[in-house]
Structure 1
């Protein structure tokens, strides 16, 4: 801790009893942005409370390696957060990875910068949130960006703290993928963040990697050591601290402070006071947990745990949303994948990055994606249609109905969470990005160090199953095109529905006990029969006559085969959101359009939990834009008070 470390980190005991103008609960993606921007004003005091620490090291700066979730404490990856058994996935469990530490998810994510399509925010506007239309958010995207990859683009920012570059992989299959997607009616596009770009296409993606091949995170861009040292007189970064509850009064509509304790588990509680505002940025799981612990949320939750009800808000924790993915993998030669790093060549690539910031270790795990809308796919041949049957344009990205519901990513690696031993894969990775189902975040007990209970929404809605099924067929169609494209190396579809089941079985049998199916539900599912029986019946139909059912194509694979496959392999894409949604009505939402929690004048939330509808993009860009806008809202509110 400061002054014995190079970064000025403070402990809970060092800030106990002190008063700050602004207290920011959570030093993740949004928290770094807000702390940095508010502390630009030297006349205010800012406190950041973060469960993790800084831990800025070589591994955390190396783009590809820092995406390895299994490095655990080195990257402050939290691996003990699990979903409840998922009825839509054979009652197995999902590990819901998170990062504890300054910078949050931007310390581990794929560094992909996707604003979302204008139609995403048109949908927010149509929900009555007129202050959050795309034209309202675009200035904040520009403010954040330094779009090095698009130096002449008038629609992109060029002076912001997040440098954005594009890269191409040195693998031959990338050229053949481009040919495959064009055969299915998609155009090659350079910039998914250009508001005039089409709603569907094959896009090169921007990545937040600097000129030296290092990860750019919210920590490095906004709250790095230089910033923290220069502002240490009025900015305090308190790490190893967990907020246990807010000191909130519904009658006055004020939050006067935050009760905190050490994340190490020591029982002593401390208290910090807020002179102006408390801004919660703890993420889609921990933000609703803190509100519930503070008596802000559904009445039944407070009654169940004996927590005095401060403000009844039924939507707290009630609408968890996420993108989730279905791995489709082809076996290729190691030299055509990141698996080459597992050979002696790995030493060469490490030295190349260490001394020159170049090579595979300086890249993201993906650089290209297809965005499509399943409603625009001709199911007879998987061709993407630019106009619908009524002649309406399917490519106008400003219209909410055209928002893509599927992203198909291309990765030179395996895309399942655990290794598939003895195989080298590249992935065609369909992801559901406009899910209809929703889950919940609830308390397990009143201990702020406990993980909340998370009901994950995987395949809880029939429309999601239909969309995902078509996405799998589309991915298999792309795989088929790649296999018959003239690609000069051996390649076979190996990990997909209707293929040799031994690989999938071996991988599934290697699962740790935490992944395994939970107990039988005590009530029937929404389909009127037990979900496990549905899975068993489907599996029996698939395994009958198995030898004649292998090596299926996108056209010959059955819906049953796809469904059982999806239930076995689908997993989170780590874009948790929507658990404290923005709404003009406190019965259906938690924050208003100024991000203030309904019923409170000085309590705001600014993280993915406020998304009223999950956008069709990777969530780093929109959450940073929300954070930047939150700062302007806070400053405007206090400027107005001073003038009165």
Structure 2
């Protein structure tokens, strides 16, 4: 099979790339996705994430693990990643967060030409079908539905009041370039009548409506890419495995890797692209030495505080809770509202650890449920949790091969807290979070603290709690970073340096983490590059 473009990975970036490139009927596109269609009921129902996130049976979830983390008491971290069309937008909390304008201006200052805030904002807007319509910062004509929450729980509003009591300002829109403040998250959730309240994954937004109709788009699910095919330094296609057999597909124009911060560097290394010390010990012939492949891994390390509550108007495990969920499920099926429509993480706060800072360095997710270990440890009863993370960690890790077997999982070593500044800021963030959760507005909802956190704890005691329980909040980036230095894997057009006809388009190209969740920025990246590719084709076709 020969196509103009072969895309590896149908996740938050790959789905966008496939849909946008195939808008041109003269272009042929093949999308290879290792998972399935990503359209069953547990995905469409936002509350279904509680069944998908723990990764039992690896249904729609790769459920990866990190290498043992020395600064987290030697624990292996959990790394849930979406498996299926839509990628991690199948199993995330649907939170639509862009980060701060300074994040993108920072990319531009590092040599990433064209990636400043004013230059990326049009692509955020292009993707959006915002519930409130078009505005200076939001779009109304895009495929991705962005909504206000359907039925936020009263305790989430109490969290907002508690933060205001502690001196934090209210914020209605976290996506206008300045996200400081407290409020409710916006969500990637359908707001049209037919699908109101359903999850709007990138597959549901971009692919499902068109993939059966476009003859120039071939989507192959269950296809695990195993190697990029090169002729010299030029990428010519991809080998993949499907139902135990190996196939190949050729790319007349480009191979585009959208396999994510773990999958894209792994596939490059399996194909002989990267550092010799990561490739040659596995008997893989070198194609191209590129020092940054798999390096520069960054992630938001997350710490959770939680309280039990007598309030039952939230997600909990009790006889009352089970009866309520049946009622809420019927309500969601009827009109898309109720607790089943909740993103769980309803309350938002972006705050500064020091008032002298120019931009927020901490993010809080207030969750209307008790959460421990990614919902893999369940607690009887009801309560609430609050996550806190350092938005711009200094620690850097890597992704590397465990073997030459393309079906093996990559080794993931985030090196959490390897830079001691990250631990110090996490302690500050945990203290700030506790101050908010102990504010008067939440008093009606507080019954007892869950993990033994108490007043007057020393920094060493805080550190012990963090080392014992902290883990990812699912934002790995940077392993194929964009830039101009020796560690850069791709240039500002996301073309792989030193190679021809191959790009990486996903979260791995972010040179540094944005100050927020990474799904919306990943979609923006794909929108921007898809338009650049189409514009380049049009320019070449002009006489």
Short-chain TM bin = over 0.9
Cα 1:296–1:169, aligned 2, differ >3 Å: closer, same or farther? same
Cα 1:490–1:308, aligned 2, differ >3 Å: closer, same or farther? closer
Given candidates 322, 331, 336, the residue that maps to 1:352 is 331
Q: How does 1:106-145 map to 2 (within 5 A)?
A: 106-145=89-128
SS at match of 1:487: helix
Q: Which runs of 5+ in 2 are unaligned?
A: none
SS at match of 1:85: strand
Structure 2 residue 300 is the aligned partner of structure 1 residue 323 = yes
SS at match of 1:560: helix
SS at match of 1:374: coil
Per the alignment, residue 432 of structure 1 pairs with: 390
Per the alignment, residue 188 of structure 1 pairs with: 170
Cα separation, 2, equivalents of 1:329 and 1:165: 27
Q: Does the CA contact (< 8 Å) of 2:150 and 2:341 recur in 1?
A: no
Per the alignment, residue 146 of structure 1 pairs with: 129
How many residues were matched structurally? Answer: 534
Once the two structures are TM-superposed, the CA of residue 597 in structure 1 deviates from its matched residue by 0.2
Structure 2 residue 265 is the aligned partner of structure 1 residue 288 = yes
Cα 1:21–1:456, aligned 2, differ >3 Å: closer, same or farther? same
Per the alignment, residue 12 of structure 1 pairs with: none
Cα 1:307–1:330, aligned 2, differ >3 Å: closer, same or farther? same
Once the two structures are TM-superposed, the CA of residue 49 in structure 1 deviates from its matched residue by 0.5
Q: Does the CA contact (< 8 Å) of 2:162 and 2:442 recur in 1?
A: no
Q: How does 1:358-507 map to 2 (within 5 A)?
A: 358-376=337-355, 388=356, 394=357, 402-417=358-373, 418-481=376-439, 484-485=440-441, 487-489=443-445, 491-497=447-453
Per the alignment, residue 558 of structure 1 pairs with: 458
Cα separation, 2, equivalents of 1:57 and 1:152: 31
Given candidates 518, 531, 542, the residue that maps to 1:632 is 531
Cα separation, 1, equivalents of 2:156 and 2:295: 41
Once the two structures are TM-superposed, the CA of residue 111 in structure 1 deviates from its matched residue by 0.7
Cα 1:136–1:320, aligned 2, differ >3 Å: closer, same or farther? same
Q: Does the CA contact (< 8 Å) of 2:150 and 2:338 recur in 1?
A: no
Q: Does the CA contact (< 8 Å) of 2:150 and 2:337 recur in 1?
A: no
Cα separation, 1, equivalents of 2:442 and 2:84: 47
Cα separation, 2, equivalents of 1:221 and 1:237: 15
**Post-superposition CA distance 1:415-451 (Å, at most 9, x none):** 2123343343201211222111011100011111100
Larger Rg: 1
SS at match of 1:454: strand
**Post-superposition CA distance 1:371-411 (Å, at most 9, x none):** 012232xxxxxxxxxxx3xxxxx5xxxxxxx3422101111
Per the alignment, residue 201 of structure 2 pairs with: 217
**Post-superposition CA distance 1:188-245 (Å, at most 9, x none):** 11001123x4x42103211011132111010111000x301210x2110011111111
Once the two structures are TM-superposed, the CA of residue 58 in structure 1 deviates from its matched residue by 1.7
Cα separation, 1, equivalents of 2:307 and 2:471: 18
Cα 1:228–1:489, aligned 2, differ >3 Å: closer, same or farther? closer
SS at match of 1:237: strand
Structure 2 residue 489 is the aligned partner of structure 1 residue 590 = yes
Given candidates 210, 216, 220, the residue that maps to 1:227 is 210
Cα separation, 1, equivalents of 2:354 and 2:444: 34
SS at match of 2:328: helix
Per the alignment, residue 174 of structure 1 pairs with: 156
Q: Does the CA contact (< 8 Å) of 1:72 and 1:78 recur in 2?
A: no
Could you state the TM-score of these two structures normalised by the residue count of structure 2? 0.94
Once the two structures are TM-superposed, the CA of residue 99 in structure 1 deviates from its matched residue by 1.6
Once the two structures are TM-superposed, the CA of residue 118 in structure 1 deviates from its matched residue by 0.4
SS at match of 1:49: strand
Cα 1:593–1:494, aligned 2, differ >3 Å: closer, same or farther? same
Q: Does the CA contact (< 8 Å) of 1:405 and 1:435 recur in 2?
A: no
Could you state the TM-score of these two structures normalised by the residue count of structure 1? 0.80
Once the two structures are TM-superposed, the CA of residue 347 in structure 1 deviates from its matched residue by 1.3
Q: Does the CA contact (< 8 Å) of 1:328 and 1:496 recur in 2?
A: no
SS at match of 1:101: coil
SS at match of 1:159: coil
Q: How does 1:247-262 map to 2 (within 5 A)?
A: 247-250=229-232, 253-262=233-242
Cα separation, 1, equivalents of 2:150 and 2:415: 34
Cα separation, 1, equivalents of 2:334 and 2:58: 22
Per the alignment, residue 506 of structure 2 pairs with: 607
Once the two structures are TM-superposed, the CA of residue 472 in structure 1 deviates from its matched residue by 0.6
Once the two structures are TM-superposed, the CA of residue 601 in structure 1 deviates from its matched residue by 2.9
Once the two structures are TM-superposed, the CA of residue 354 in structure 1 deviates from its matched residue by 1.8
Per the alignment, residue 86 of structure 1 pairs with: 69
Per the alignment, residue 201 of structure 1 pairs with: 181
Cα 1:581–1:67, aligned 2, differ >3 Å: closer, same or farther? farther
SS at match of 1:275: strand
Cα separation, 1, equivalents of 2:436 and 2:345: 17
Cα 1:259–1:89, aligned 2, differ >3 Å: closer, same or farther? same
**Post-superposition CA distance 1:75-133 (Å, at most 9, x none):** 52222x21111001000111211121111111111111111110111111221213110
Per the alignment, residue 37 of structure 1 pairs with: 20
Worse-superposed segment, 425-434 or 624-633:
425-434
